[in-house]
């Protein structure tokens, strides 16, 4: 069994458009298995930044002042 990974779009009609390069590699009337992975909507980027800032602060907590310079980058 072969596996292909590629980006695809869902049309306004609810159909998945496959890239032409993939379609050219498949035989007509060939049965395939499809696994669909969907990107989840992103949470507020400010929340992401706050978590990243908190994680870096906690990681560097207790290190010397010279090490803390990475926290300001």
Q: How does pLDDT run along the chain (73 residues), one tens digit per residue?
A: 788 889 999 999 999 999 999 889 888 888 888 888 887 766 676 777 787 787 777 776 665 566 555 555 5
CA-CA distance, 56 to 16, in Å (whole number)? 41
CA-CA distance, 1 to 15, in Å (whole number)? 24
Q: What is the pLDDT of residue 51?
A: 78
Q: What is the pLDDT of residue 41?
A: 64
Q: What is the pLDDT of residue 10?
A: 93
How far is residue 52 CA from its own chain's centroid?
17
In the chain, the N- to C-terminal Cα span, in Å, equals: 47
Query: How large is the greatest C-alpha to C-alpha distance in the chain, in angstroms?
Result: 66
Do the Cβ atoms of 19 and 8 come closer than 8 Å? yes
């Amino acid at each position: 069994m072969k596996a292909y990974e590629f980006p695809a779009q869902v049309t306004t009609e609810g159909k998945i458009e496959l890239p032409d390069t993939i379609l050219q590699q498949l035989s007509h009337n060939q049965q395939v298995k499809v696994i669909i992975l969907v990107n989840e909507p992103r949470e507020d980027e400010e929340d992401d930044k706050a978590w990243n800032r908190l994680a870096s602060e906690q990681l560097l907590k207790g290190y010397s002042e010279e090490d803390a310079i990475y926290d300001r980058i």
